[in-house]
Structures are given as structure tokens and as C-alpha cells.
Structure 1
């Protein structure tokens, strides 16, 4: 019983971390670019896409790790 609860908490933590990583690395920079474009400051779209891709991949990997942890439930 305790093992299952700890497993669920670990999976939940991984999933919450994945959400934070995606918001930090994808959503926030995209909004920042929108504000910079409105002020006339240019940012390389290729750099934004590449960096966001890395953050998005990291978030997906953490989410999948959380699902794998949940697979260990008894």
C-alpha cells in the first residue's frame, strides 16, 4: 500500500515537472517573442524553434518517465 502511494507521488511529481519544463521552455519564450516583435526587436525564429524543441522533448521525456513509473504499480 505505501509502495503504491509513493509510486503515484513520484509519477505525479515527474508529470508536474514535465508541465513546468514545457511552460518554461516553450510557452514563455513564445510570449516573449510576441512582445519583442511588437516592440521591433528581432529574434531568430530558428533559434526559438530549436530551443523550444529541446525543452518540449525534455518535457515529453519526463512525462513518459512518469508513465513508466506508474507501470510499476502492484
Structure 2
């Protein structure tokens, strides 16, 4: 039974880590590339707002990654 628990725990941690990667790519990397190549990212977006939003997305991604590490701590 512990082998099943361990595999489920690893799958959960892997899913959380994949979500963390997606959050960081969506909220930090994509807007940064858009600004770098001067694509239109919407009307009314100031650099300060973009930086603040990217920091929030980055923080969420880091939080998800740390949660995944915590889940891995439950391995038997």
C-alpha cells in the first residue's frame, strides 16, 4: 500500500510543479517577450503595472513549486 501512496504523492507533486511552470511562463515569460519584441499587450498597460503583475505571477509559481516540495515530504 505504501508504494501506491508514494506514486500518488509523486504524481501530485509533479502536477503541482508543472502548474508552477505554466504560471511562470504565462505571467512572466510571455509578457516579457511581448515587451521585448514590442508586441501590443493591451491598451493602458504601464511598465510598472506589468512589472507588478509579473511579480505576482512569479510569486504564485514559486508558491506552487514550494507546495510540490512539501507534498514530496509526505513520501513514506
| Structure-1-length-normalised TM-score | 0.88
Per the TM alignment, residue 54 of structure 1 is displaced from its structure 2 partner at its CA by 0.4
**2:16 maps to what in 1?**
14
Separation in 1, partners of 2:54, 2:12: 25
Following TM superposition, where does structure 1 have runs of at least 4 consecutive aligned residues deviating by more than 6 angstroms? Answer: none
More helix by share: 1
**2:61 maps to what in 1?**
59
Paired residues, what number? 71
**1:30 maps to what in 2?**
32
Question: What is the SS of the residue equivalent to 1:73?
Answer: coil
Q: For structure 2, which runs of at least 5 residues remain unmatched after alignment? A: none
Q: For structure 1, which runs of at least 5 residues remain unmatched after alignment? A: none
The CA RMSD over aligned residues, in Å, is 1.8
Q: Give yes or no for contact 1:36–1:42 (8 Å, CA) kept in 2.
A: no
Per the TM alignment, residue 42 of structure 1 is displaced from its structure 2 partner at its CA by 8.4
Per the TM alignment, residue 45 of structure 1 is displaced from its structure 2 partner at its CA by 1.2
